[in-house]
Amino acid sequence: MGRPESEPQKQTTLTVRSTIPFWKRSLALNIGVIILSLVFLVGFFPGVLARCNPNSHNPDLALQGPSRDHPLGTDNYGRDMLSRIAWGTRVDLQIGIIGMMVPFITGSTIGVLAGYYGGWIDQVLMRVVDVVVAFPFIVLVIAIVAVLGPGIFNLYLAISLVGWVAFARLIRGEVLVVKNLDYINAARALGYSDARIIMRHVLPNVLGSSVVFAATDVVSCMLAGASMSFLGLGVQPPIPEWGALISDGRVFMTSAWWMAALPGVALAITGTGFSLLGDGLADLLRTKGR
Amino acid sequence: MSQVEGRRPVELLLQVNGLTTYFFMKDATVRAVDGVTFNLGTGETYGIVGESGSGKSMTLKSILRLVPPPGKIIGGNIEYGGLDLLALSPAQMRLIRGREIGMIFQEPMTALNPVLSIKQQIMESLDTEGMSYQEKLARAVELLKLVGVPSAERRLEEYPHQFSGGMRQRAMIAITLARQPKILMADEPTTALDVTVQDQILKLIAGLKDSLGMSVILVTHDLGVVAQMCDRVAVMYAGKIVETADTLSLFSSPRHPYTIGLMGSLPHGRERGTKLRPIKGFPPDLTSLPEGCSFAPRCEFATVECREACPSATEVAPGHMASCYHTARLVEFKGIIEHADEEGGS
Amino acid sequence: MNSEPEDGSLLRVEGLKKAFPLKQPVIDVLLRKPALAVKAVDGVSLSMRRGETLGLVGESGCGKSTLARCILRLEEPDAGKVTFEGQDITRMNKRELRQQRKKMQIIFQDPYSSLNPRMSIREMLEEVLTVHRICPPAQVASRLAELLEMVGMSPDTMDRFPGEFSGGQRQRLGIARALAVDPEFIIADEPVSSLDVSIQAQIINLLADLQRLLSLTVLFISHDLRIIRHITDCVAVMYLGTVVEMAQTGALFDRPYHPYTTVLLAAAPALDPRARRKEYAIEGEPPSPINLPRGCRFHPRCVMATAKCREEEPSMRQVEPGRMVSCHFSNKVS
């Protein structure tokens, strides 16, 4: 059955692209997105939930439990808890997301360079990582803020100084794996510059796990911010930040539990939302296949 | 004691009838093993040859009921020693595995436990035999020697990562033979090994088969391995056996288009510059097999009836079965051996 | 500057060496013990004429893949020289090397890791054409289509991603990528070993066609002797980092001179059920490339080994026209 040319028929693709749309692939992702959509909605438009001015004092309404006018009660100054928590959403989201950004960018960059080039950059990086990782994240952040002084800027600075390490280590590991794959060798054999190889071939294939980690890192940053405010080292009053609200409510735990507990609940819900988002993204990445 | 599948009367050790294993995925069903029937006689090496996706490995796993979910054995029976293996309880099946039927795998590194020493792993397989520690140890040494590992006593203490690929495969054979199973199933045991090591392992298996009186089912994609090792062969495609014969007959007169195509794809002693004759098309999609013969889309001889109904096995010569409507036309095709004859043996 | 040296060789490798040092325990570093190294390539010399297909065979650990990477300078050789079209590419700087790369390309073994999973085929091939300015932007689309058709792929598939293709198709795409720069020399590193037998034949036919069509010079690395015999003009056999025998393909298979070549040919399972041997082709395991045996590196497993073999390493000599062997007994046919 000899034919003159060896390719008698053209090859078309074998597998159809996965027909499951991404909104059906991961339950975690869906729930996470729903929760976060609501949280972000409140963050952008606190007025959706907040009926009152979060800072207006009403001494005669102080320490009232949940009621129709004040569904989440009032604090010791008579401020509406619902409004304070609602307005605090924006603050905590900012701390979480902005706090995560700088470490994400710097850590990823350093990790990629260390992983790709190896050598002394990598050695130095690994030793630094070893040191930083020996301390719990919160402890280091507290220490730095204690030195620099309270305030939101110093909080961001402290988180940036400490948080990049986790990203660097994570992405470096991924780069070490990808570096030896044949498509990178092919790119080198084609004479592509290192910059091109890193940006177009390495980075797209390693960023995935970094992004997943970033989602959960938002939670860590939010908690760091809340802890700082709880200790009085973070956001300064009267800005309603959930950690600060919890701190305010601490002494009233037995008499007005809603002051401390409910901001905590808000924190937990938002944290869960981000965690689920991270899980969901990880699921998506996994099922995308080779 | 049937004689249907052999040229000489053999005592049948294992009879697989209509074995069917499907994988039930979210949006599709993979028909991995689709009505496989074959027999294994005592002292025989039976080869199952096919490419990836043919179902050959899953057939072995189905026999030992090691099919991972979402796979499920949904049909057929497997007769061994008067019992139907598919009807046994899990506890009874555990008695069969290892003691009656053993299996070795392709990648010794993943089949061996990296955190246990070789000694521990061999002795562990003897745990159910009621032997004392000393007895088990002695047997372990004996087994390692049997599979040709030099300095057996010393090497027993080592871990899998300290063994080379060939040595690990020998260790795995030792573990599998510890309880002297009557049937050894080998799933591509040498595919990951160098050619000189492959030669040693295959000859080791052949030697052990004779000295221990075992039967062997050997799954491979390499027709050379089949030629060197097997008494009879089954060729699988898309979950079904398409041809069965004794090795010599298969190599000298193949009678299924897939077998012929497979042999035509091999470069064997042809002149340089002549084209190979590959099988056109792509491997089958096991989730959507065509109506009729699964090989029809790629078959030079396919006709309308091939696409309508799947052909059943017909006997084209004593002991030689092929599942094709056109076996009569294929008589003119010479197999590999003829070519070898022409060049005085390649 | 593109002329070839007088002997007409396109590629010339001389005395290439590459070793990978092992991590030393700190104690040894402090005691200044010399580091152990895996001597992957330990003095390889060979040459290829334009249009020739040279097969490189050997078992794992013989250094064939490392040799390939050193030739392309994907690894930097420790010693030795690689000359292409008369130019020493081992000494080139980055800029010159980049230009040189257009002439020498490689096809990899594993179809599942040789294509970037996050780039579509179009992006992958366009990148090659743009970076090397192969053709003006207006012609890019037609050149892409041409490349895909040359390897038997339909241009309709250009916007798909590697994950949607089978192993054989991915290999074709890898070949298309290598051909995009219009190379003169291609190293095929076990290009079909990971594919099913029926697909192997398709790819081998394709490679043979392309070689003829484009007048390529091919270094074909494989452990499959049947394929080597079918597709190559000459063969070099490697063992533990050196070439032990090099000859025309037909001659090598009919009459191997080096004992290791004989073993290799004997070990491959023959396709004839009537030709079965009980004895092993060779005893023992290949030694590690870390502690090489003294003298001839094959002597511990060689049936013909004598005292001389244990002491003195043989050098590669031409024993007859077109046949080089590295053995003290090379004058005697084994």
CA dist A245 and A226 (Å) reads 9
Cβ-Cβ pairs closer than 8 A, A with C, add up to 103
Hey, are the CB atoms on A11 and C157 less than 8 Å from each other?
A: yes
Query: Is C267 in the A-facing interface, judged by CB distances under 8 Å?
Result: no
Supply the mean pLDDT for chain C.
89
pLDDT at A18: 54
Hey, are the CB atoms on A15 and C172 less than 8 Å from each other?
A: no
Band of pLDDT at residue B219, cut at 50, 70 and 90: very high
Hey, are the CB atoms on B164 and C268 less than 8 Å from each other?
A: no
- Structure confidence by residue, pLDDT tens digits, C42-51: 999 999 999 9
Residue B224 maps to a domain = no
Strands C104-107 and C53-57: unpaired
- Structure confidence by residue, pLDDT tens digits, A96-134: 999 999 999 999 999 999 999 988 889 998 899 889 888
Strands C87-88 and C79-84: antiparallel
Which one is predicted more confidently, C122 or A77?
C122
What are the CB-based long-range contacts (under 8 Å, 24+) for C311-314? Answer: none
Report CA-CA distances (Å) from C62 to C10, C292, C298.
24, 12, 12
CB neighbours of residue C250 within 10 Å? 15
Residue C110 maps to a domain = yes
The reply to whether omega before B160 is within 30° of 0 (cis) is: no
Chains in contact with A, where contact requires at least 3 CB pairs less than 8 Å apart: B, C
| DSSP for C45-109, written as a single string | EEEEETT-EEEEE--TTSSHHHHHHHHTTSS--SEEEEEETTEEGGG--HHHHHHHHTTEEEE-S
- Structure confidence by residue, pLDDT tens digits, C249-276: 999 999 999 999 999 999 999 888 888 8
Angle, helices C259-267/B195-212, rounded to nearest 10 degrees: 50
CA-based nearest distance C45→chain B, Å: 24
- Closest residue by Cα to residue A97 from A261, A193, A215: A215
CA dist C44 and C238 (Å) reads 9
- Structural class in CATH, domain A79-287: mainly alpha
A73: left (phi over 0), alpha (psi -120 to 50) or beta: left
Contacts for A274 with CB less than 8 Å, ≥ 6 apart: A32, A36, A96, A215, A216, A218, A219, A222
CB neighbours of residue B250 within 10 Å? 31
Percentage of residues in chain C having pLDDT higher than 70: 96
Query: Could you tell me the CATH number of the domain that includes residue C148?
Result: 3.40.50.300
Chain C contacts of A289, Cβ < 8 Å? 163
The two tokens of residue A33 are: 């997105």
Report CA-CA distances (Å) from B297 to A125, B284, B307, B314.
57, 9, 8, 21
C172: left (phi over 0), alpha (psi -120 to 50) or beta: alpha
pLDDT at C264: 92
- Structure confidence by residue, pLDDT tens digits, C99-116: 899 999 999 999 999 999
- Which domain covers residue B327, as residue numbers? 253-342
Supply the mean pLDDT for chain B.
87
Q: What is the DSSP letter of A80?
A: B
Average pLDDT over residues B118-132: 87
CB neighbours of residue A208 within 10 Å? 17
Residue C324 maps to a domain = no
pLDDT at C174: 96
Hey, are the CB atoms on A1 and B277 less than 8 Å from each other?
A: yes
φ/ψ (deg, to 5) at A135: -100, 145
Query: Is A181 in the C-facing interface, judged by CB distances under 8 Å?
Result: yes
Q: What is the DSSP letter of C298?
A: T
- Structure confidence by residue, pLDDT tens digits, B250-285: 999 999 999 999 988 888 765 666 788 888 888 888
CB neighbours of residue B86 within 10 Å? 19
pLDDT at C19: 92
Residue that is written with structure tokens 């059920």 in the block: C273
Hey, are the CB atoms on A2 and B277 less than 8 Å from each other?
A: yes
Which 261-290 residues of chain A touch chain C by CB within 8 A?
288-290
- Structure confidence by residue, pLDDT tens digits, B191-210: 888 899 999 999 999 999 99
CA dist C316 and C328 (Å) reads 10
- Structure confidence by residue, pLDDT tens digits, C228-252: 999 999 999 999 999 999 999 999 9
Chain C contacts of B278, Cβ < 8 Å? 198-202, 205
Chain C contacts of B275, Cβ < 8 Å? 205, 208
| Residue from B52, B274, B282 to probe the interface with A (highest A Cβ count within 10 Å) | B282
Residue C332 maps to a domain = no
Walk across the sheet containing B12-24 and list its strands.
B29-41, B12-24, B71-80, B83-84
φ/ψ (deg, to 5) at A198: -65, -45
Residue C196 maps to a domain = yes
With contact defined as beta carbons under 8 Å apart, do B226 and B202 qualify? no
pLDDT at A50: 80
Residue C189 maps to a domain = yes
Residue A222 reports pLDDT greater than 80 = yes
φ/ψ (deg, to 5) at A242: -55, -40
- Which domain covers residue C196, as residue numbers? 9-259
Query: What's the structural domain count of chain B?
Result: 1
Average pLDDT over residues A205-231: 88
- Which residue is closest to B276 within chain C, CA to CA? C201
Residue B19 maps to a domain = no
Query: Is A6 in the C-facing interface, judged by CB distances under 8 Å?
Result: yes
Q: Please state the pTM of the whole predicted model.
A: 0.86
Residue C170 maps to a domain = yes
CA dist B135 and B133 (Å) reads 5
Residue B45 maps to a domain = no
Cα atoms in the 13 Å half-sphere on the side-chain side of B262: 27
Residue C41 maps to a domain = yes
CA-based nearest distance A11→chain B, Å: 8
ipTM: 0.87
Which 16-55 residues of chain A touch chain B by CB within 8 A?
19-20
Bridge partners, residue B30, by sequence: B23
Residue C285 maps to a domain = no
pLDDT at C82: 94
Reported as type and span, the H/E element at residue B183 is strand B183-187
Residue B281 maps to a domain = yes
Query: What's the structural domain count of chain C?
Result: 1
Chains in contact with C, where contact requires at least 3 CB pairs less than 8 Å apart: A, B
Per-position b or e across B163-187, b if 16+ CB within 10 A of its CB: bbbbbbbbbbbbbbbbbebbbbbbb
